Structure 1
Amino acid sequence: MSDEKRFTSREARIDAAAHRLLDRLPDRGLLGGLTELLVFGIKQAFACLFGGAMLTLMIATKLFWPDAIGFARYDFLFLAALGIQLLMLAFKLETIAEAKVILIFHIVGTLMEIFKTSVGSWIYPEPSFFRIGGVPLFSGFMYAAVGSYLARVTRILDLHYTHYPPRSATVLLALAIYANFFTHHFVIDLRYLLFAIIAILFWRTNVHYRVFRFRHRMPLLIGFLLIALFIWFAENIGTWSRAWIYPSQHAGWTPVSLQKLGAWYLLMILSFVLVTLVHRPRPLQAMHQPRPARDPQAVTAEGGVVIREAPQISS
């Protein structure tokens, strides 16, 4: 995928400015490794732009919300989420396709929230006007934040895959995961079977991603786990801010159980498959030809084989 397709016009300007600064740094040794790590962190933060903004607002409104204004905190969060989305589109920090992903996630997430709150899995303890039943409408944006991250990181890190399973199988898996979130309240919980199917489908799958000068790879199952872990951390922030709470947190905040990590792992798989409906998984051999390297000595390691490659594709 060319930079023109990967980046919006705004992102392309940010990319060019970053290269003007970072291309001056060494590409080897400790400083080269630290540069790669720094760029990786910056890109991850940029991919998390929407989710990070929402978590920041949750913390800020938890600490500073003035109850005397007569306007519900949840309603502010809902309107703020809409505003953030519009700003990201207006400033070309998000594509129309990614906005569509967020809309799909909002609908899917809100439907699940309506059911989960009705059976007492968690509650929203504060009043609001923009709500459906016991679910304030800002809650759907929490699911949308996951979809936004996955869609954006696909572009920003130029993700490609090897041994990716058939998309039809992944779609059926996603449907089974979504159904199990509802049906396990009435019949047997199939999550362990679903974990086994996930392992079978993705056991050989590697994700290949470009940070700055080099392309790296990781088993996709480990990537899924790391994302689920960060979602679990974010959930702890959300429940601490009382954006929502579990029954065990009614009398006071306690950390979310690590058992929830399994639920987030399944939800993350569901989210990932939904994003692939917009950003189709690209096989590694479908990568575009690199542009001529400014530094003919620049190299990248791919699967243990050293190959020459342009250092300035993305940042």
Structure 2
Amino acid sequence: MRLLTQLLRFAWIEAQSCLFAVALFAGLLVAYVVPLPIARYDALLVWCVALTLAFWAIGFETWREVLVILAFHLIGLALELFKVHVGSWSYPEDAVTMVWGVPLFSGFMYAAVGSYVCQAWRRFDLRVSDFDALATSVVAVAVYANFFTHHWLPDLRLPIAILGVWVLRRTWVHFTVGDARYRMPLALSFALIGVFLWIAENLATYLNAWKYPGQLEVWEIVHTSKIGSWALLVTMSFVLVAAVKRWEGQLHTVVHQPATTRPSVRSRAAVPPLPPG
């Protein structure tokens, strides 16, 4: 019963942390089934902007976190512009708020990942131990660059992933569920989030948010190789949020050192001498 209770608590906190993503998908679903007076992508942009402002107004996200989400939007939008240009995927509908075939709302799908990390950090009281921010940032930059360069140069996704696992080999993420404190390898958490993002991607493509070349005629499941891509993208997300949490003093956990068995000077002095003989 204790295990079941903790699992239910964990699932509830996860659901709360995904609130922005859930609201975004709710907008996708409504726009998919309900006729709208404006283009669907335009309506989704209005909806995502309203969500961001509402989350800030009611205190779900701080202004620093909103800036992080804006950074995610811009980084994601730049990636979208490039990927659509080279034909990696496409947006099947027209809209006023489109730039070079990319609707502006698309950046908010990356922002939803940033919102999740921010919310999970607060709700789980996340901290990390043995986290090398500089090395992890280098990996994150390499991840983002490879998304562009692999169209002309060798795809370094696997070597970068191996490097990332090596950099994070001693890094643990600590989190609270109920009255208990747990930890797991940070690299493992990235992989698990990548699985859930792949599931969300399948739902989004089914709702015509975007289309891969193999989905233009008939929808098909997204290839499982995208799980790795999403896990790598989470590395970038974590680095950006970690920079804010470092500024707020909420990045590193305190690792308690084992107590020494050697008595102190005071304790030795307090021990009475043994009697002669």
Q: Shorter-chain-normalised TM-score: which range?
A: 0.7 to 0.9
Give runs of aligned pairs for residues 26-105 of structure 1, distance below 5 A.
30=1, 32-62=2-32, 64-66=33-35, 69=37, 71-105=38-72
TM-score by length of 1: 0.78
- Among 238, 255, 262, the residue aligned to 1:272: 238
Tell me which residue corresponds to 1:228. Answer: 194
What secondary structure, in the 3-state scheme, does the structure 1 residue paired with 2:170 have? coil
Counterpart contact for 1:151–1:279, Cα < 8 Å:
no
Is this contact kept in 2: 1:65–1:73, CA < 8 A? no
Other-structure match for 2:85: 118
Unaligned 5+ runs, structure 2: 257-277
In structure 1, stretches of 5+ residues that fail to align are 1-29, 288-315
Q: Which residue of 2 aligns with 1:158?
A: 125
Distance 2:39 2:88 in 1: 23
Q: Give 1:291's aligned residue.
A: none
Distance (whole Å) between structure 2 residues aligned to residue 106 and residue 162 of structure 1 = 28
Choose the corresponding residue for 1:248, options 214, 225, 231. 214
Listed as ranges, the matches of 1:291-306 within 5 Å are none
1:218 is aligned to 184
The number of residues matched between the two structures is 253
Distance in 2, matches of 1:98 and 1:49, equals 15
Equivalent position of 1:305 in the other structure: none
* 3-state DSSP of counterpart to 1:284: coil
Quote the residue 1:174 is aligned against. Answer: 140
Decide whether the 8 Å contact of 2:242 with 2:251 is kept in 1: no
- 1:141 maps to 108
1:112-163 CA-partner distances (Å, limit 9, x unpaired)? 1000000000000001111211100110000000011111111111111222
Stretches of 4+ moved more than 4 A in 1? none
Alpha-carbon distance in 2 for matches of 1:176, 1:65: 41
Give the TM-score normalised by structure 2.
Answer: 0.88
- In the TM superposition, residue 268 of structure 1 has moved relative to its aligned partner by 1.1
Measure the CA separation in 1 of the matches of 2:57 and 2:236: 29
Identity among equivalent positions (%) equals: 43
RMSD (CA atoms): 1.4
1:106–1:144 contact (8 Å) kept in structure 2: yes
For residue 248 of structure 1, what is the amino acid of its counterpart? G
Query: C-alpha distance in 2, partners of 1:219/1:189?
Result: 26
Q: 2:149 aligned with 1:183, yes or no?
A: yes
Letter in 2 for 1:173: V
Quick one: which amino acid aligns to residue 134 of structure 2?
S
1:277 is paired with a residue whose SS is helix
Distance 2:88 2:180 in 1: 44
